[in-house]
Structure 1
Amino acid sequence: MGEKYFYTEAMTVGYQGIPLIQNIKIHIEQGEILSLIGPNGAGKSTILKSIAGQLKLLGGAVWLDGRELMQMSGNELARRMAVVFTERIHSEMMTCEDIVATGRYPYTGKFGILSGTDRKAVEEAMELVHMSGLRDRDFMKISDGQRQRVMLARAICQEPEVILLDEPTSYLDVKYKLEFMTILQEMTRKKKLSVIMSLHELDLAERVSDKILCVKGDCVEKFGPPEEIFEPGYIARLFGMTAGSFEEGSGLLELEAPKGAPEVFVIGGAGAGRKIFRRLQRKGIPFITGILYENDLDYPTAKALAAEVIGVEPFEPISEEQIAAAKTAIDQCQRVICCRDSFGFWEQANVRLLEYAKKVNKLEEKPIAG
């Protein structure tokens, strides 16, 4: 463990004395990021609100650096833990800098007068989240993504050891999501802050988290590093997926494969086939693809959307039997789409398939659009 760390001891959470999730065990080191994932309504927000003290624990305890949070005064807790939840703040006539400065409330006393030290903390927090240029803007007249950064700066201003965030990327577009997560990582590295947050975006959770807690209804199913959580098939079970697929290795979420007899054979590889696979899926056209190495960029999408994938283990030679199987598949299909202009040394089998498609007059010169 690090010098300062956070953990729960047989924590039980719920509402009005009724347990929802019991025996929750979490532990993270200083400067680590923990993400809570699971279906909507599974209890992620309940766990965060219970840690924050907004809901009374029904059992167990929460510890920070060897001290139980329930034994801390409100002011001490505010200095050690900051909360950024999804509730919107309605602040009239307050600039972004004013909002950030309210994060100094544990230090300013009852009159809220900022000292030089407080103003320096405000400035540093705004710089850390790259929002110094917004300092004089009306908080109610900036974008959702900018507001999230302001609220994060407000939390940093408290100079806490732990920050809690509930779905911090909910209102953000792709640009701001990536910026926000980059800021979180910088914050944990530079400030040694620990972050506990709930996330819907599984790909982000896998990439940014040191630990992941999987919540499902009345229990915590798994807790550990991403490489232990994102095992093949687990995410589909956790979320009870009945349509489509999630590929843990790539983080790809795909819709359901078209049903019926395959109509098209796709020659792809090196990532060139994915657009065609998805176009065919959108049009409801079943297809076969190959020959693909199992470490090829096209392979995860192909496995999710194709009726059949003629695959080969990485670095293994392609056999005549596999080439024959691909030619048989071409015979069964109405047409062939080739996504490549050229092939590498290890892809000469696909050159032979392209030549065969031309020979049997099934190569489509202008692949489908849309």
Structure 2
Amino acid sequence: MGEFMPRPKTLGGESNLETPVETQADGAPLFRISDLSAGYDKKVVVEGVDLEVRAGDVVALIGPNGSGKSTILKTITRHLAPLAGAVELDGREISRWKTAEFARNLAVMLTDRPRTELLTCRDIVEAGRHPYTGRMGTLSPDDHSRVDEAIKTAHVEELAERDFMQISDGQRQRVMLARAIAQDPRVLVLDEPTSYLDIRYQIDLLRILRHLAKSRNVAVIMSIHELELAQKSADKVICVKDGRVFRAGAPEDIFTRETIGELYGLQHGTFNERFGSVEIGRPHGDAHTFVIAGAGTGSAMFRQLIRQGKAFYAGVLHEGDIDCELARDLAAECVAECAFEPIGDKTIARAKELLVHCARLIVCPAAFGTINARNAELVEFARSHGIEVMRACGGGSEDSKYA
């Protein structure tokens, strides 16, 4: 990832003024939204929004489609005028900033794509330097250097001389990020920046944003649908639902089963905070399969059974085990013992009560350890009751394999 040259601190007039402008007090919010109401044609879409963003923060807006996330972003970028409330950059209402001055401090990457004719990707990135040029719009050698650096940082060198309209949506997304970087902002606002990107470039983009925030002290505000990426990249998460801020906080406080379920109105699935993903829920009907798992050996089998529409029991697992976390979401019942404790009589008895009604037992671990040794009793119990014992593929035993 390319390193950044020191950004010019300028306020109007010609570019590259040497006098730095540092108006933000230490620890004070760089960007502040107070009781904001926003919408279109005087119709309120979202209201009562309060938000403080400090330099170096990465803030993610999440929530259902149509909840008001994009409306908030378009208002703080001056694409929409606030219907009520205040939006301040460096303690000054954003409407009071001159256009070029505002553009030198805040860059935008929206989902809308510019329609261009005969412009290369480099031309698009160079547009990010226009707030720093004079009236003629001529780029200086320093501007060209910053464009080169932005192209390198966004990893779009191979696209630089190609026609912007003849590349894919995902490639255009990366070029637009390079343009925003070339603008050298203090605040970067992005609306669904991971849209159109494959997983490699989603990760790449978020790494770049984290780099900008932590090494350049850029405040990043973005809307995002990929919850697992928001959970791993944001310092602060804003939940928007039904035109209001439903909840706000650190990722560890927001990405819980209860909060995400309520935010999105999940009825047939659950959010698994350990995996950072949504599970589609249990199949209907009686369970005729019991799965012995543990230490992550059962996760693939659980999901395979779910895809096949087969309800199942899981056990005996231990509280805190990754398989136990997933089985609570997917299994008809998860038989669990206290963490770090050997399997007790009551727990093994409950497992046998469920197992006796099953047609098959699937064993995922290749071997049992000290605290889960009594799972071997379940294997012998199954054989003595005529229940088919199967090993998950890779388990390695004389039993038949479940593939």
TM-score bin, normalised by smaller chain: over 0.9
Partner of 1:110: 135
Question: 2:368 corresponds to which letter in structure 1?
Answer: F
Partner of 2:75: 50
After superposition, give the CA deviation of every residue in 1:173-231 in whole Å (9 maximum; x if it has no partner).
11111111111111212221111111111111111111111111131111121122223
- Checking the alignment, whether the CA contact within 8 Å between 1:252 and 1:301 is kept in structure 2 is no
Question: 2:377 corresponds to which letter in structure 1?
Answer: R
Q: Are 1:81 and 2:106 matched, yes or no? A: yes
The one of 244, 251, 263 equivalent to 1:238 is: 263
The one of 208, 217, 220 equivalent to 1:183 is: 208
Aligned pairs (5 A) from 1:338-353: 338-353=363-378
Partner of 2:199: 174
Partner of 2:344: 319
SS of 1:326's equivalent in the other structure is: helix
After superposition, give the CA deviation of every residue in 1:215-263 in whole Å (9 maximum; x if it has no partner).
1113111112112222331111111111111122331211120112210
Say what the alpha-carbon RMSD is for the aligned residues: 1.7
- Checking the alignment, whether the CA contact within 8 Å between 2:122 and 2:161 is kept in structure 1 is yes
Partner of 1:37: 62
Distance 1:146 1:265 in 2: 47
Distance 2:273 2:42 in 1: 37
**1:294 to partner: Cα distance:** 2.1
The one of 322, 325, 335 equivalent to 1:297 is: 322
**1:3 to partner: Cα distance:** 6.0
- Checking the alignment, whether the CA contact within 8 Å between 1:128 and 1:187 is kept in structure 2 is no
Partner of 1:248: 273
Distance 1:218 1:148 in 2: 27
Question: 2:358 corresponds to which letter in structure 1?
Answer: C
After TM superposition, the structure 1 stretch with the greater mean CA deviation from structure 2, 203-212 or 62-71, is: 62-71
- Checking the alignment, whether the CA contact within 8 Å between 1:250 and 1:300 is kept in structure 2 is no
Partner of 2:10: none
- For these two proteins, the number of residue pairs brought into alignment is 369
Partner of 2:396: none
- Checking the alignment, whether the CA contact within 8 Å between 1:36 and 1:44 is kept in structure 2 is yes
Partner of 1:285: 310
Distance 1:150 1:278 in 2: 38
- Checking the alignment, whether the CA contact within 8 Å between 2:342 and 2:372 is kept in structure 1 is no
After TM superposition, the structure 1 stretch with the greater mean CA deviation from structure 2, 215-224 or 34-43, is: 215-224
Q: Are 1:360 and 2:385 matched, yes or no? A: yes
Distance 2:266 2:164 in 1: 39
- Checking the alignment, whether the CA contact within 8 Å between 1:82 and 1:160 is kept in structure 2 is yes
Distance 2:288 2:317 in 1: 19
SS of 1:347's equivalent in the other structure is: coil
Partner of 2:179: 154
Partner of 1:122: 147
The one of 145, 167, 187 equivalent to 1:142 is: 167
- Checking the alignment, whether the CA contact within 8 Å between 1:246 and 1:254 is kept in structure 2 is yes
Partner of 1:228: 253
**1:128 to partner: Cα distance:** 1.7
The structure in which a higher percent of residues are helix is 1
SS of 2:373's equivalent in the other structure is: helix
- Checking the alignment, whether the CA contact within 8 Å between 2:63 and 2:241 is kept in structure 1 is yes
- Checking the alignment, whether the CA contact within 8 Å between 1:267 and 1:354 is kept in structure 2 is no
**1:74 to partner: Cα distance:** 0.7
Distance 1:4 1:61 in 2: 14
Distance 1:153 1:353 in 2: 59
After TM superposition, the structure 1 stretch with the greater mean CA deviation from structure 2, 74-83 or 272-281, is: 272-281
SS of 1:233's equivalent in the other structure is: helix
- Checking the alignment, whether the CA contact within 8 Å between 1:31 and 1:188 is kept in structure 2 is yes
- Checking the alignment, whether the CA contact within 8 Å between 1:263 and 1:287 is kept in structure 2 is yes
Among all aligned residue pairs of Structure 1 and Structure 2, give the percentage whose two residues are the same amino acid: 44
- Checking the alignment, whether the CA contact within 8 Å between 2:128 and 2:182 is kept in structure 1 is yes
- Checking the alignment, whether the CA contact within 8 Å between 1:230 and 1:249 is kept in structure 2 is no
After TM superposition, the structure 1 stretch with the greater mean CA deviation from structure 2, 54-63 or 291-300, is: 291-300
Partner of 1:19: 44
User: What TM-score, normalized to structure 2?
Assistant: 0.87
- Checking the alignment, whether the CA contact within 8 Å between 2:106 and 2:187 is kept in structure 1 is yes
After superposition, give the CA deviation of every residue in 1:259-278 in whole Å (9 maximum; x if it has no partner).
12210000111111112111
**1:368 to partner: Cα distance:** 4.1
Partner of 2:286: 261
Q: Are 1:101 and 2:126 matched, yes or no? A: yes
After TM superposition, the structure 1 stretch with the greater mean CA deviation from structure 2, 304-313 or 105-114, is: 105-114
Distance 1:180 1:354 in 2: 48
CA distance change for structure 1 residues 87 and 366 in 2, over 3 Å: closer, same or farther?
farther
Q: Are 1:274 and 2:299 matched, yes or no? A: yes
User: What TM-score, normalized to structure 1?
Assistant: 0.95
Distance 2:296 2:69 in 1: 36
Distance 1:250 1:19 in 2: 36
